[in-house]
Amino acid sequence: MQNRHLELSQVGIDFPTPKGPFTALTDVNLKIKKGEFISLIGHSGCGKSTVLNIVAGLHQATNGGVILDGCEVKEPGPERAVVFQNHSLLPWLSVYKNVELAVKQTQKGKSKKDTRDWILHNLELVHMTHALDKLPSEISGGMKQRVGIARALAMEPKVLLMDEPFGALDALTRAHLQDSLMDIHAELGNTVIMITHDVDEAVLLSDRIVMMTNGPSATIGEVLEVNLPRPRDRLVLADNPEYNHYRHEVLTFLYEKQKKVEPVSNYKKTKQKNASKDSDAA
Amino acid sequence: MSKSVQAISQIGQLDGKSKITQLVSMLPKLLMPLVGILLFLAVWNGVSKSIDTSLGQFPGPAQVWEQSIVLVSEHNTQREKAEAFYERQEVRNAKRLAQDESYVPKIREFTGAPTFFDQIWTSLYTVMVGFFIASVIAVPAGILCGLSKSAYAAMNPLIQIFKPVSPLAWLPLVTMVVSALYVSNDPMFSKSFITSAVTVSLCCLWPTLVNTAVGVSNIDSDLVNVSKVLRLTPLKHVQKIVLPASIPMIFTGLRLSLGIGWMVLIAAEMLAQNPGLGKFVWDEFQNGSSESLARIMVAVITIGIIGFMLDRLMLAVQRFASWDKNSVLR
């Protein structure tokens, strides 16, 4: 039963184009245990987001399907809450109201006091209770992402889906939020699927790292089990040979086995991206 | 104009030396509108002297100013007449009541010709009602078009065909339909009022409809996804996501609509002899006295100023309704 919490079987998706269907994904098979933290990593354009969107129900798989606790995923729903890359808070609602919308919608039976307590509890988890009445435009990017996570958690999701949640943040803020996320995961034990570009992030946070091959027709290339004891501390791990071994595995997959050949126009951009990545790693 | 006001208020916050330097640097901003207006008046004055029409010389700024004062005093006299008229009635009614207690007092309405200001009021009232009717239809229809591609596909040909239609083409049809359908012994509104308002509505619909549809269809897909994950009902989706997100575009449409409505109304009133500023212009034209052209020019400037004020009013409402108080609105 434990092994059958979330199951992706033979998932594939075709997008219609004027030149005929474009196969973005094929044969994605993945079984996820309850409470497991999964990272999806791969080069841009490999369909990581598509996998996440299929699990979220925002995209419909052309082949295969997703089963969560014995029910097939057909449409989006709060039990599969999504944290979007660009926070996607409603800009006209305050921090509190943004979370309130989610709570009121998903837990309609709650009394007024319970609703308020639950909203505050979730904002407390991400340390955002000091900015309840601020609009999203009045807080920093990192704070917005925290509120986005609080909103997702407030839906009491079975699975938390995170689409590069920290991709747009600076390295320090990112590290901070990663620590927060580890604490929250330790406390609540949600199942998490997170997309990332960041090898360190993947190794630090995950129980398993799912590495994807390049598209078109992308699929799962390798799955790496990360058997580092929790709680994990980034400072201690920095010199840990096991940790560095895992990092090396992922880097080898990304830059040797699935080396991405970009068209010339994109070359510069990729170079810059890699450069910033290297400096992060250092 | 608002720019110069802003500049002045900015200067007010400074003091001493910096105030003076600031004032000097702001000078062009403050002066240029004035220079523009003065230049226009000078050219107008010069040109008008060399235009001789069958109704005399084309009025220059001085004659127009004179006529605007005449129009104000005419209005005041008419008001006094009306007051005197009602006073006489009251006195008479009181007298008759004293003679015969069973007498039911009657008040007849004053039937003097409407003054320039009465006409302004009628026009404003009519345009607002027409604009309101149009908005009540266009905003929901626009939201529907923005949300559903099939609704848009169905409505688009109609929008494209009816959008460029001049109000004057509608007017005869509207007049006939109103007189056929709006039959009542004790009408709440006059037929001419309804005809004008409906004509205005028909022309006000389109900018609001099109802009709302564009605004709704361009909502950030992430926000739409949030709504899907939360499983918001269609009504809640519109209320919580669609409306706030498309407020700026809706207001762009509303402002365009009101501007068009105001232009259309003047034309409709002229052609259909409905009361209002348009009728004032037409009456003066038919009247053909030596002052007529100057009086028409007063109406022209009034129409312009009112149009400008209506737009500022909508801008103020937009500022109030918009969640993004920092956005630059102009």
CB A220 within 8 A of CB A210: yes
Q: What is the pLDDT of residue B151?
A: 92
Q: Do A106 and B241 touch (CB under 8 A)?
A: no
Distance CA(B267)–CA(A111), nearest Å, equals: 59
Band (B133; pLDDT cuts 50, 70, 90): very high
Q: Do B220 and A88 touch (CB under 8 A)?
A: yes
Q: Are residues A144 and A104 in the same domain?
A: yes
Q: Do A90 and B240 touch (CB under 8 A)?
A: yes
**Which of B226, B324, B326 lies at the smallest CB-CB distance from A88?**
B226
Q: Which of B268, B295, B265, B270 has its CA nearest to residue B115?
A: B295
Work out the widest C-alpha separation in chain A, in whole angstroms. Answer: 59
Distance CA(B196)–CA(B210), nearest Å, equals: 23
* Beta strands A191-196; A37-41: pairing state: parallel
Q: Which of A7, A10, A27, A14 has its CA nearest to residue A59?
A: A14
User: Is any Cβ of chain A less than 8 angstroms from the Cβ of B232?
Assistant: yes
Q: Are residues A248 and A271 in the same domain?
A: yes
DSSP state of B87: H
**Which of A75, A76, A91 lies at the smallest CB-CB distance from B323?**
A91
Amino acid at B190: S
**Which of B223, B323, B324 lies at the smallest CB-CB distance from A88?**
B223
Which of A97, A123, A156 is the last residue in one of the domains? A156
How do residues B76-86 score in pLDDT, each as one tens digit? 898 898 888 88
Please tell me which residue of chain A has the smallest CA distance to B325.
Answer: A92
Check whether A262 has a pLDDT greater than 80.
no
Q: Are residues A64 and A20 in the same domain?
A: yes
CB A123 within 8 A of CB A150: yes
**How long, in residues, is chain B?**
330
Distance CA(B245)–CA(A27), nearest Å, equals: 39
Amino acid at B220: D
Q: Which B residues 177-196 touch A at CB under 8 Å?
A: none
A13 to chain B nearest CA, in Å?
19
Q: Which B residues 15-74 touch A at CB under 8 Å?
A: none
Q: Are residues A198 and A273 in the same domain?
A: yes
Q: Are residues A13 and A41 in the same domain?
A: yes
Q: Do A77 and B323 touch (CB under 8 A)?
A: no
Distance CA(B149)–CA(B323), nearest Å, equals: 27
Q: Which residues, in sequence order, are bridge partners of residue B311?
A: none
Distance CA(A171)–CA(A169), nearest Å, equals: 7
Please tell me which residue of chain B has the smallest CA distance to A79.
Answer: B229
Question: Which residue has tokens 């998490």?
Answer: A192
Please tell me which residue of chain A has the smallest CA distance to B232.
Answer: A105
Amino acid at A176: H
How do residues A97-130 score in pLDDT, each as one tens digit? 999 999 998 888 889 999 999 999 999 888 888 9
Band (B109; pLDDT cuts 50, 70, 90): confident
Question: B218 by DSSP, 3-state: which?
Answer: coil
> Domains along chain B?
119-178+189-321 (1.10.3720.10)
User: Is any Cβ of chain B less than 8 angstroms from the Cβ of A105?
Assistant: yes
Q: Do A105 and B241 touch (CB under 8 A)?
A: no
Assigned token pair, B82: 């009306």
Q: Do A78 and B231 touch (CB under 8 A)?
A: yes
Assigned token pair, B144: 């529907």
Check whether A142 has a pLDDT greater than 60.
yes
Q: Which residues of A touch B230 (CB under 8 A)?
A: 78, 101-102, 105-106, 155
**Which of B228, B241, B326 lies at the smallest CB-CB distance from A90?**
B241
Q: Do A137 and B324 touch (CB under 8 A)?
A: yes
User: Is any Cβ of chain B less than 8 angstroms from the Cβ of A92?
Assistant: yes
- Provide the ipTM: 0.82
Amino acid at B66: E
- Domain of residue A138 covers 87-156
Q: What is the pLDDT of residue A282?
A: 39
Which of A156, A187, A202 is the last residue in one of the domains? A156
B313 to chain A nearest CA, in Å?
23
CATH number at residue A199: 3.40.50.300
Q: Which residues, in sequence order, are bridge partners of residue A65?
A: A9
Q: Are residues A6 and A74 in the same domain?
A: yes
Q: Picking from A82-86, B4-8, B32-36, B129-133, which range would have the lowest pLDDT averaged per residue?
A: B4-8
- pTM summary value: 0.79
Q: Which residues of B touch A75 (CB under 8 A)?
A: 228, 231
User: Is any Cβ of chain B less than 8 angstroms from the Cβ of A255?
Assistant: no
Please tell me which residue of chain B has the smallest CA distance to A53.
Answer: B225
Q: Are residues A221 and A149 in the same domain?
A: no
Q: Which residues of B touch A74 (CB under 8 A)?
A: none
Q: Are residues A94 and A211 in the same domain?
A: no
Which of A156, A180, A212 is the last residue in one of the domains? A156
Work out the widest C-alpha separation in chain B, in whole angstroms. Answer: 80
First-residue to last-residue Cα distance in chain A: 42
Q: Are residues A61 and A168 in the same domain?
A: yes
Q: Are residues A104 and A181 in the same domain?
A: no
DSSP chain A: -GGGSEEEEEEEEEE--TTS-EEEEEEEEEEE-TT-EEEEE--TTSSHHHHHHHHHTSS--SEEEEEETTEE--S--TTEEEE-TT----TTS-HHHHHHHHHHHH-TT--HHHHHHHHHHHHHHTT-GGGTT--GGGS-HHHHHHHHHHHHHHT--SEEEEESTTTTS-HHHHHHHHHHHHHHHHHH--EEEEEES-HHHHHHH-SEEEEE--SSSB-EEEEEE----SS--HHHHTT-HHHHHHHHHHHHIIIIIT-----HHHHHHHHHHHHHHHHHH-
How do residues B234-284 score in pLDDT, each as one tens digit? 999 999 999 999 998 999 999 999 999 999 998 888 888 888 899 999 988
Distance CA(B97)–CA(A28), nearest Å, equals: 97
Question: Which residue has tokens 């009101």?
Answer: B258
Please report how many Cα atoms fall inside a 13 Å half-sphere around the Cα of residue B260, on the Cβ side: 24
Q: Are residues A53 and A167 in the same domain?
A: yes
C-beta pairs of B163-166 under 8 Å, 24+ apart in sequence: B163/B206, B163/B210, B165/B202, B165/B203
Check whether B141 has a pLDDT greater than 90.
yes
Band (B10; pLDDT cuts 50, 70, 90): low
Q: Which residues of B touch A57 (CB under 8 A)?
A: 228
How do residues B168-217 score in pLDDT, each as one tens digit? 888 889 989 988 888 877 777 888 888 899 999 999 999 999 999 999 99
Q: Which residues of A touch B232 (CB under 8 A)?
A: 105
State the alpha helices, DSSP H only, in B149-291.
149-162, 167-181, 191-217, 221-229, 234-237, 243-272, 277-287
Q: What is the pLDDT of residue B217?
A: 92
Band (B166; pLDDT cuts 50, 70, 90): confident
User: Is any Cβ of chain B less than 8 angstroms from the Cβ of A174?
Assistant: no
Q: Do A92 and B225 touch (CB under 8 A)?
A: no
What are the angstrom distances between the C-alpha of B318 and each of A90, A135, B72, B308, B321?
Answer: 19, 19, 33, 15, 5
Q: Which residues of A touch B224 (CB under 8 A)?
A: none
Task: Count contacts between A and B (CB, < 8 Å).
Answer: 55
Band (A273; pLDDT cuts 50, 70, 90): low
Q: Are residues A202 and A231 in the same domain?
A: yes
Q: What is the pLDDT of residue B16?
A: 64
Q: What is the pLDDT of residue A281?
A: 43
User: Is any Cβ of chain B less than 8 angstroms from the Cβ of A64?
Assistant: no
Question: B258 by DSSP, 3-state: which?
Answer: helix
Q: Encode B173-210: b = buried (16+ Cβ within 10 Å), e = exposed.
A: ebbeebeeeeeeeeeeeeebbbbbbbbbbbbbbbbbbb
Check whether A195 has a pLDDT greater than 90.
yes
User: Is any Cβ of chain A less than 8 angstroms from the Cβ of B229?
Assistant: yes
Check whether A276 has a pLDDT greater than 70.
no
- 3-class secondary structure for B58-79? CCCHHHHHHHHHHHHHHHHHHH
User: Is any Cβ of chain A less than 8 angstroms from the Cβ of B221?
Assistant: no
**Which of B222, B230, B245 lies at the smallest CB-CB distance from A105?**
B230
Check whether B88 has a pLDDT greater than 60.
yes
**Number of other CB atoms surrounding residue A76 within 10 Å:** 21
Q: Which residues of B touch A76 (CB under 8 A)?
A: 225, 228-229, 231
Band (B330; pLDDT cuts 50, 70, 90): low
The number of folded domains in chain A is 2
Q: Which B residues 251-290 touch A at CB under 8 Å?
A: none
How do residues B142-164 score in pLDDT, each as one tens digit? 999 999 999 999 999 999 999 88
